[in-house]
Chains A and B, each alone.
Chain A
Amino acid sequence: MLDTGKPASIETSVDVCLAPELTQALGALAETIEQFAASHSIEGEIPFRLNLVLDELVTNSVNYALPEVAEPLLRVRLTRTPHGVTAQLEDNGAAFDPFQDAPKPDTSQELDERPIGGLGVFFVTQFADSASYEREGDVNRITLRMKTEN
């Protein structure tokens, strides 16, 4: 990247391991996001959206990926960037790319036709400004970016 001559941006992160149990994991996630948002001036709709998309991914990991793992790992890292926030979620479940492998809902379907599932990953793709998946060793890593107004 080009050096623009601006002072180095202040990037601060929080890194939290979540218990592979849904009540504890979602409780810790909500608390982490609330504190991180408050201490890094992340305002407006962003904390809610961040909580929602990470909730959906954590719920999938805890319910589907991690029960198969002897020593489950689940961690989230939040990083404040200039004009944004980056969230990374890692688990050591079987390789699964939700952006390729999960079915996509048709949000124009009527009440009777609408399938019951499939919204969680869709929310991630709709609310995050970018979302990517990579597999490194035995770890699934999802990286999300959301822009902020400040």
Chain B
Amino acid sequence: MSDQTQLSVETEQHDKGVILCPSGRVDGTNAGTLEGVIRDQLEGGQSVLVFDFSGLNYISSAGLRVLLVAARDTQSRGGKSVFCGLSKQIAEVFAVSGFDKILAVHSSRDEALGAI
């Protein structure tokens, strides 16, 4: 079990892109960790990122900033970022910030992969 007060990020390679599964919390103390994982994937040639938030129980604006940058960076490389597995609370944060309009949010991983 991962510590729910910390962030860990697992990555899974998929034939359509890379699936990133952050678990725990993303806030101002560790958003840079998520950013680093994303940067490594982009530098490794990936341009399609699937964010599966099933294990994520908290995100602040510091984390959203990283997602916004990821969405832009993948788009500018001809790829895209898609999101799935949002908890009710995280979906609310996306809605209030308007991120649900500018990011591709799907209800399941299968649906997210299907949208690529």
Q: Do A and B come from one complex?
A: yes
**Chain A positions 85 through 112: 1 when the CB is less than 8 Å from some CB of chain B, otherwise 0:** 0000000000000000000010111111
**Chain A positions 47 through 90: 1 when the CB is less than 8 Å from some CB of chain B, otherwise 0:** 01101100110010001000000000000000000000000000
Given the complex, which residues of B lie within 8 Å of A56, measured CB to CB?
A: 60-61
Q: Are A27 and B96 touching (Cβ within 8 A)?
A: no
Interface of B is mostly: helix
Given the complex, which residues of B lie within 8 Å of A107, measured CB to CB?
A: 96-98, 101
* Least CB separation from B65: chain A residue: A116
Chain B interface size band reads 20 to 34
Complex partner residue of A45 from B62, B75, B92, B97, CB under 8 angstroms: B92
How far is A81 from B102 in the complex, measured between Cα atoms in Å? 38
Complex partner residue of B60 from A108, A114, A120, CB under 8 angstroms: A120
CB distance from A58 to the nearest CB of B (A): 9
Given the complex, which residues of A lie within 8 Å of B101, measured CB to CB?
A: 107-108
Which of B39-47, B48-56, B66-74 touches A?
B66-74
Q: Are A26 and B29 touching (Cβ within 8 A)?
A: yes
Q: Are B102 and A116 touching (Cβ within 8 A)?
A: no
Complex partner residue of B97 from A30, A48, A111, A123, CB under 8 angstroms: A123
Given the complex, which residues of A lie within 8 Å of B71, measured CB to CB?
A: 111
Q: Are A114 and B93 touching (Cβ within 8 A)?
A: no
Residues of B within 8 A of A (CB): 5, 25, 27-29, 58, 60-62, 64-65, 68-69, 71-72, 75, 88-89, 92-93, 96-98, 101-103
Residues of A within 8 A of B (CB): 22-23, 26-27, 30, 45, 48-49, 51-52, 55-56, 59, 63, 105, 107-112, 114, 116-117, 119-120, 122-123, 126-127
